[in-house]
Amino acid sequence: EFLHQQKDEL
């Protein structure tokens, strides 16, 4: 969840 949350960049 922690890692996923940060993958909002392109």
Q: Residue for token digits 């960049």?
A: 9
- Which tokens belong to 6? 């940060």
Based on the shown chain and the rule CB under 8 A, indicate whether residue 4 belongs to the binding site for another protein.
yes
Q: How far is the CB of 2 from another protein (least distance, A)?
A: 7
CA-CA distance, 1 to 7, in Å (whole number)?
10
Based on the shown chain and the rule CB under 8 A, indicate whether residue 2 belongs to the binding site for another protein.
yes
Q: Would you mind telling me the total number of residues written for the chain in this entry?
A: 10
Based on the shown chain and the rule CB under 8 A, indicate whether residue 7 belongs to the binding site for another protein.
yes
Based on the shown chain and the rule CB under 8 A, indicate whether residue 3 belongs to the binding site for another protein.
yes
- In the complex, the residues that contact another protein under the rule CB under 8 A are 2-4, 6-10
